[in-house]
Amino acid sequence: PPLAASSPSLPQTVENFVSSHSPVVCSTGAACTEYGLKSALEAVAMLRTDYPRIGLVLVLTRYGEAPYERELFAAIESLKLGEHVIVEREVPDFISLLKRSDVLLRAALVDGDSVSVREGLFLGLPTVASDTSFRPGGVILFRKGDSVDMARKLGQALTTEKGRFASVGGVR
C-alpha cells in the first residue's frame, strides 16, 4: 500500500495549480507514444466545456523522447489548454498529489500492472484507464487510444464521484 511521506508536500507550482482547479485529473507517464498522453490532452479539452475549471496535472517520468515531449507542449498550445494543464517532472510525493486529485487517468496504449493505478484504487480515487490486457477490478475502462471514449469515462467518473462536480452539460 502507498504511504505518504512524513511531511507530505507538493511543489509550490503544483500546489497553486491544484488549489485553483476543480476537478483535478492526475496522470503520469513517459513522454512517448505508448503512454497515450496526447489523447489525454484531447480528452481534457473535450471536458473543458462542461468543467470550465478542470485541471490536468501531468507528471512525466525521467524516461521519454524529447521530440514527443515537444509534441505534447504543441498540443497543449493548439488545444488552448495552457491554463488547464501543468506538466511536472519533480513531484517527490506522488501520493500527496493523488490525495489532492479527483480522478487518476492512465492513458497508456500498452501497459502491465500499473503502480499508479494500484495506488489510485488503494486511496479510493476514481481511476480511469485504457483497456489494455491487464487492469484490476474497480478501474473504469475506456478504449485505448480513443480520446472521445476517454472523455466520456472521465466525465462518468467525475459525475459519480459523490456528485461533487456539477457539469455544465455532461459528456455524452
Q: Of all residues in the chain, what percent carry a pLDDT higher than 90?
A: 80
pLDDT tens-digit map of 27-53 = 999 999 999 999 999 999 999 999 999
pLDDT of residue 7: 52
Q: Does the pLDDT at position 142 exceed 90?
A: yes
* Separation between Cα atoms, residue 164 and residue 58, nearest integer Å: 22
Average pLDDT over residues 94-104: 95
Q: Does the pLDDT at position 172 exceed 70?
A: no
Which phi and psi (to 5°) does residue 136 adopt?
-75, 165
Q: How is residue 2 written as a grid cell?
A: 502507498
